[in-house]
């Protein structure tokens, strides 16, 4: 993290002193103020300001957990089968999903998928498969 007088930037640095290069950055000002992520290239004004004025910045390592090394994160929506689902489970999931739709509409399937993962201790791929190929299919036949 480069903390300066007018900007805070998460930086990706390669090399070793005195031969370092900032290859990317994320402008934290935009994230903090507007909730959007602005990715910076090495040729951006912000990165160039850091490189040409290092004495104006405090440099600190970010505190992160080992989870950042996981390239998949919470998982992918690549469909995977899960055979342990009973008819009773499917019926309950259909009811839960109907309630979920009443509250959130159909724009927040990710929240329902994570809920399924916690409840059944399954992967996001398995939960996505169940939602798309069982729950939604039943609802489309029921309510057409």
**Mean pLDDT computed over 120-143:** 84
* Structural domain includes residue 128: yes
**Predicted local confidence at residue 42, as pLDDT:** 93
Instruction: Indicate whether 70 belongs to any domain.
Output: no
With 0.95 as the threshold, say if the pTM is over it. no
79 assigned to some structural domain = no
The pLDDT score that the predictor gives to residue 20 is 85
In whole angstroms, give the CA distance from residue 106 to residue 122. Answer: 22
Residue 129 in any domain: the answer is yes
For 125, the domain range is 87-143
Query: Rounded CA gap, 49 and 4, in Å?
Result: 10
Q: Is residue 82 part of a domain?
A: no
Cα–Cα distances in angstroms (integers) from residue 143 to residues 99, 120, 132, 137, 139, in the given order: 15, 26, 15, 10, 6
What pLDDT digit, counting tens, does each position of 18-77 carry?
788 999 999 999 999 999 999 999 999 999 999 999 999 999 988 878 777 766 666 655
Q: Which helix (H) or strand (E) holds 67?
A: none
Strand-pair category, 8-16 with 2-3: antiparallel
Total count of domains within the chain: 2
Q: What is the pLDDT of residues 98-116, one digit of tens each?
A: 998 888 877 778 888 888 8
Here the tokens at position 27 are 């402008």
Do 93 and 44 share a structural domain? no
* Residue 59 counted as domain residue: yes
Identify whether residues 54 and 101 lie together within a single domain. Answer: no
């Amino acid at each position: 993290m480069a903390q300066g007088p007018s900007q805070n930037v998460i930086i990706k640095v390669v090399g070793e002193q005195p031969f370092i290069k900032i290859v990317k950055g994320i402008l934290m000002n935009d994230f903090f103020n507007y909730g959007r992520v602005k990715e910076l290239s090495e040729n951006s004004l912000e990165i160039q300001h850091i490189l040409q004025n290092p004495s104006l910045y405090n440099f600190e390592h970010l505190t992160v957990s080992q989870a950042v090394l996981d390239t998949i994160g919470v998982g992918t929506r690549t469909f995977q089968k899960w055979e342990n689902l009973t008819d009773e489970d499917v019926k309950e999931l259909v009811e839960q999903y109907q309630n979920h739709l009443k509250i959130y509409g159909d724009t927040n399937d990710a929240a329902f998928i994570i809920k399924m993962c916690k409840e059944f201790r399954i992967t996001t791929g398995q939960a996505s498969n169940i939602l798309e190929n069982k729950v939604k299919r039943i609802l489309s036949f029921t309510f057409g």
